[in-house]
């Protein structure tokens, strides 16, 4: 069996974003393996531990994204494939770039994060599924293999459902599916020696980003001392009523 986790490198949510020119400049940001993708790596590892086979991390992005693949290898993935592409690519283009690699590997199933922490896109899993001609189960919170099929629980807009799906299939991950493990020191040492195959992608994205601006609304920051809770609460309610006029 072969379990693939598709991953990306993104800025750490806590890191400060800067604008250079009219685009976000990540040169001084801390970059990490997308936390949503970590669930996919963890799930691939658990499936391998339970059913045997191989767990592979497939990454898309610029040269520096190799660090995120190394993180996945340090968590325990067997090997990595890096589809190298500089610049922005929309999910349809990313799926196009990854499809030949995934087809060649012929995996039992593919996992990827439910949402990207940089482009806020939720479409990669669905686009990949279409590219591979297989079903997609988005926002998976439980996954069990049953022979040629998988039984999975996933969230809908209102509520959730259990489905049975023919394999191979694409699953997008989210919180609740598992608790991702941390890379261990021996894991990090071993990861240095694991193979990362590089694949170049020549295609061009369809969606172009023209401009990015940071939208952090300036907040009033009128913070009251709550030593006298009744007085503070009354003052807050007065401000919300008279100044903000929201109650």
Partner 1 sequence: MILVVLDHDGTKLRKGSLEALTRARQLAQALGERVAGVLLAEERAPLEEARGYVETLYVAELGPYTAEKWAAGILEAAREGVKAILAPSSRQSRAYLGRVAYALKAGLLEDTLESWAEGGQVYATRYAYLNRVTQKVKSAPPVVLTVKPNTTPLAEPLGQMGEVVTMNVPPVATVEVLERVQEERKGVSLTEANVVVTGGRGMGSAEAFKQVEELAALLGGAVGATRAVVDAGWRPYGEQVGQTGKTVQPSLYIALGVSGAVQHLAGMNKSKYIVAVNKDPEAPIFKHADYGIVGDVHQVLPALIEAVKKLKD
Ligand X SMILES: Cc1cc2nc3c(=O)[nH]c(=O)nc-3n(C[C@H](O)[C@H](O)[C@H](O)COP(=O)(O)OP(=O)(O)OC[C@H]3O[C@@H](n4cnc5c(N)ncnc54)[C@H](O)[C@@H]3O)c2cc1C
For 102-122, give one letter per residue: b (16+ CB within 10 A) or e.
beeeebbbbbbbbbbbbbeeb
CA distance 24 to 28: 11
Return the sign of the alpha-carbon dihedral for residues 95, 96, 98, 99: positive
Q: Which does 148 bind (CB under 5 to 8 A by kind): ligand X, partner 1, none?
A: none
Stretch that binds partner 1, among 60-68, 76-84, 103-111, 212-220 (CB under 8 A): 212-220
Question: Closest CB to partner 1 among 13 and 49?
Answer: 13
Residues 21-40 that bind ligand X (CB under 6 A): 35-36
Which residues have a Cβ under 8 Å from the Cβ of 185 and sit 6 or more positions away? none
Pull the structure tokens for residue 221. 């920051």
Q: Which does 192 bind (CB under 5 to 8 A by kind): partner 1, ligand X, none?
A: none
Going residue by residue from 208 to 247, which x/- string records binding to ligand X, judged by CB under 6 A? Answer: ----------------------------------------
Cβ neighbours, 10 Å, residue 88: 14
State which of residues 50, 51, 103, 166 lies at the interface with partner 1 (CB under 8 A): 166
Going residue by residue from 167 to 196, which x/- string records binding to ligand X, judged by CB under 6 A? Answer: --------x---------------------
Distances (CA, A) of 97 to 34, 35, 83, 179: 19, 22, 7, 29
Burial of 150 (0-12, 13-18, 19+ CB in 10 A): buried
Q: Which does 169 bind (CB under 5 to 8 A by kind): partner 1, ligand X, none?
A: partner 1
State which of residues 1, 163, 188, 199 lies at the interface with partner 1 (CB under 8 A): 163
**Maximum distance among all alpha carbons in the chain?**
68
Residues 143-162 that bind ligand X (CB under 6 A): none
Question: Closest CB to partner 1 among 35 and 105?
Answer: 35
> Where do contacts with ligand X occur on this chain (CB under 6 A)?
35-36, 175
């Amino acid at each position: 069996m072969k379990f693939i986790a598709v991953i990306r490198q993104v800025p750490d949510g806590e890191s400060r974003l800067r604008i250079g020119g009219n685009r976000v400049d990540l040169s001084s940001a801390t970059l990490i393996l997308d936390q949503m993708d970590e669930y996919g790596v963890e799930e691939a590892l658990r499936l391998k531990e339970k059913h045997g086979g191989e767990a592979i991390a497939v990454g898309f992005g610029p040269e520096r994204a190799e660090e995120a693949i190394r993180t996945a290898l340090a968590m325990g993935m067997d090997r990595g494939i890096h589809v190298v592409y500089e610049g922005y690519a929309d999910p349809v283009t990313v799926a196009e770039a990854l499809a030949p690699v995934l087809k060649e590997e012929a995996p039992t199933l593919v996992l990827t994060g439910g949402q990207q922490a940089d482009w806020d896109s939720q479409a990669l899993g669905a686009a990949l599924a279409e590219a591979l001609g297989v079903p997609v189960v988005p926002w998976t919170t439980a996954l069990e293999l049953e022979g040629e099929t998988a039984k999975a629980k996933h969230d809908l807009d209102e509520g959730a459902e259990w489905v049975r799906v023919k394999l191979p299939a694409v699953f997008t991950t989210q919180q609740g599916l598992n608790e991702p493990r941390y890379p261990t020191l021996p894991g990090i040492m071993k990861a240095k020696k694991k193979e990362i195959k590089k694949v170049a992608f020549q295609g061009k994205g369809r969606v172009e980003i023209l401009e990015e601006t940071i939208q952090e609304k300036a907040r009033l920051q009128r913070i009251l001392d709550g030593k006298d809770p009744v007085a503070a609460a009354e003052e807050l309610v007065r401000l919300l009523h008279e100044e903000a006029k929201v109650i």
